[in-house]
């Protein structure tokens, strides 16, 4: 073994991953020399002086590299190479020879030797050869591990693919089953061609599946123009929102036009190449029923209005009769007074005529007539009579005008003065509340006009005022000397107008406050209420005018209904 290790050897120790090496040679000195060279760089070295000894060592231990002489008694280096290749193919074998020939070199390399070294061997050559061999051995081991891991991965992948494929088939089968029994129509379109359709869609339009598959989608629409327009709307919605929701006209096989609500979304691809899934629901009967319900609701509101008008008619007649009576009395008075004036004027005329021809007796008669008529009284009372007559006629005109405006069937929204609607509703309902309450108005003079259906808002106001009068009538005794109160206020803030209609009635019990807007719910006696007034109020204020209606109530104290209406008549974005 050399006495010292040079710089090159030191670098080998630093860079080399140490390996276990078997040196085989029947010359002990060569074994010792090679062992010293390799041990100096940190390899784990064992030696064998024969092929048999080497094979025994190889059976009991693992070696990364074997360096063997080619010519040995017994088992030769070539035979040992063959043994290593069969028993441990990852181990690299270096063949040494002191008598190199082409034949031995060929045998060694063909037999799988990593290198062919010629004696005497320079130490650096040995070290490099062992280093390369050890590296190759490590690569072989890694390759074998990678191949094993890759094979395991492939097996797992194949298993997963098999499981996923089976799951996908099951999923497709389940999906096909669900689509097949789905109550809504589903079909797939690609490039304007119907690619698939479920039974519900076929039944919806009266086609068989065979008649629809591979047919032009225009088959489903009444005209080419209609189809193109729907496609434009559909594509625009998909581009903007990813899904299109449309209600379209489709034509059944027998030519009937059906209203179909569709939701369309792309399955695969983009733009014109996208396959589309269309979920279709026939809403023809639903829309027809809704139209009938809307018509019925309008008829019900009109009937309620006529019912209110009918119940108020007697009171209105009474209200008109009172001013009419004193108008008539004043007219009688004016007629009689005018007859007296005519007598006076006639006598005066006769007096003047006679005085010109006969003297003074007729003048005395005219003076007597004038004294009986009392010209001073007439001069004072006739203007009062005329003033009362004008006041009565104005009251009549106001009542009649309010009634006319209330009963006018406005069908569309327009700008309306809410304060004026309140005054009108209070006027025509006066006979309902004047015997039980006094009404006070605190109306915002700067209240903006509201975009609404004025006749419907008037009906709501009338219902609430009448309800207030009924609540007060139930709360006060029949012989009570003090009347209740109905207070109506208006105000506005931001984009809203607020109406508050309060009464000093019996109040609403907490356990029924959540139900008072339900259709047909009423706390009134049988025959006095239908339970539709507040339900109609909710429908008009909330559903049609996008407002709110609420109440504050205390049993035994009274109730305040609070209505809020958007000034522009539009639904709030919030």
Q: Is the distance from CB of 85 to CB of 55 less than 8 angstroms?
A: no
Task: Determine the pLDDT at residue 526.
Answer: 39
Task: Determine the pLDDT at residue 406.
Answer: 55
Torsion angle (degrees, nearest 10) of CA 101, 102, 105, 108 = -110
Per-residue pLDDT at 13 exceeds 50 = no
Distance, in Å, from the CA atom of 478 to the CA atom of 469, rounded to the nearest integer, reads 14
Phi and psi at residue 26, in whole multiples of 5°?
A: -80, 0
pLDDT in tens, 306-358: 556 555 654 565 566 566 666 666 766 776 776 777 676 666 666 656 665 55
pTM for this one?
Answer: 0.39
Task: Determine the pLDDT at residue 322.
Answer: 63
Task: Determine the pLDDT at residue 306.
Answer: 53
Q: Identify the helix (H) or strand (E) that includes residue 264.
A: strand 257-268
Per-residue pLDDT at 491 exceeds 90 = yes
Which pair of structure tokens corresponds to residue 119?
Answer: 């004696």
pLDDT in tens, 405-455: 555 555 678 899 999 999 988 988 888 898 899 999 999 999 999 999 888
- Our CA angle for 476, 477, 482, nearest 5°, is 65
Q: Determine the distance from the C-alpha atom of residue 94 to the mean position of all C-alpha atoms in its chain, rounded to a whole number.
A: 78
Distance, in Å, from the CA atom of 150 to the CA atom of 145, rounded to the nearest integer, reads 8
67 CB neighbour count, 10 Å cutoff: 31
Task: Determine the pLDDT at residue 131.
Answer: 87
């Amino acid at each position: 073994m050399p006495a010292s290790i040079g710089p090159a050897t030191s670098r080998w120790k630093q860079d080399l991953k140490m390996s276990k090496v078997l040196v085989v040679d029947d010359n002990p000195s060569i074994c010792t020399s090679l062992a010293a060279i390799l041990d100096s760089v940190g390899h784990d070295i064992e030696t064998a002086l024969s092929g048999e000894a080497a094979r025994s060592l190889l059976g009991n231990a693992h070696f990364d590299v074997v360096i063997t002489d080619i010519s040995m008694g017994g088992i030769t280096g070539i035979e040992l190479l063959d043994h290593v290749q069969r028993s441990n193919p990852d181990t690299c074998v270096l063949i040494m020879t002191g008598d190199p020939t082409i034949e031995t070199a060929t045998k060694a390399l063909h037999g799988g030797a990593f290198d062919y070294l010629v004696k005497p061997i320079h130490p650096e050559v040995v070290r490099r050869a062992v280093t390369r061999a050890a590296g190759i051995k490590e690569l072989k081991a890694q390759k074998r591990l990678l191949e094993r891991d890759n094979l395991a991965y492939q097996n797992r992948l194949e298993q997963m693919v098999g499981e996923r494929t089976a799951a996908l088939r099951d999923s497709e089968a389940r999906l096909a089953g669900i689509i097949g029994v789905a109550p809504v129509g589903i079909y797939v379109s690609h490039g304007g061609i119907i690619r698939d359709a479920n039974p519900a869609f076929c039944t919806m339009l009266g086609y068989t599946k065979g008649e629809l598959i591979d047919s032009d989608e225009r088959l489903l629409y009444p005209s080419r123009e209609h189809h193109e327009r729907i496609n434009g709307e559909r594509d625009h919605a998909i581009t903007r929102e990813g899904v299109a929701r449309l209600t379209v006209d489709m034509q059944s096989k027998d030519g009937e036009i059906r209203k179909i609500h569709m939701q369309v979304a792309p399955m695969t691809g983009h733009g014109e190449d996208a396959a589309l899934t269309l979920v279709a629901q026939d809403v023809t009967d639903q829309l027809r029923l809704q139209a009938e319900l809307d018509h019925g609701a309008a008829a019900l509101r009109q009937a309620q209005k006529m019912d209110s008008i009918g119940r108020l008619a007697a009171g209105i007649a009474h209200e008109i009769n009172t001013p009419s009576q004193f108008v008539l009395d004043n007219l009688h008075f004016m007629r009689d007074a005018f007859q007296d004036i005519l007598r006076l004027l006639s006598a005066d005329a006769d007096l003047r005529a006679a005085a010109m021809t006969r003297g003074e007796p007729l003048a005395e008669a005219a003076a007597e007539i004038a004294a009986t008529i009392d010209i001073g009284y007439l001069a004072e009372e006739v203007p009062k009579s005329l003033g009362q007559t004008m006041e009565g006629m104005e009251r009549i005109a106001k009542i009649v005008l309010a009634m006319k405006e209330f009963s006018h069937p406005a069908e569309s929204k327009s700008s309306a003065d809410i304060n004026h609607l309140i005054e009108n509703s209070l006027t025509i309902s006066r006979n309902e509340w004047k015997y039980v309450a006094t009404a006070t108005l605190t109306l915002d003079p700067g209240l903006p006009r509201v975009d609404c259906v004025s006749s419907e808002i008037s009906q709501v106001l009338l219902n609430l005022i009448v309800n207030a009068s009924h609540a007060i009538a139930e709360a006060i005794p029949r012989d009570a000397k003090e009347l209740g109160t109905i207070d109506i206020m208006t105000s506005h803030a931001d984009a809203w107008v607020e109406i508050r209609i309060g009464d000093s009635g019996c109040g609403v019990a907490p356990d029924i406050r959540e139900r008072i807007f339900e259709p047909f719910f009423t706390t009134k006696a049988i025959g006095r209420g239908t339970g539709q007034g507040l339900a109609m109020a909710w429908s008009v204020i909330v559903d049609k005018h996008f407002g709110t209606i609420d109440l504050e109530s205390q049993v035994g104290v009274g109730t305040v209904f609070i209505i809020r209406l958007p000034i522009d008549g539009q639904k709030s974005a919030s």
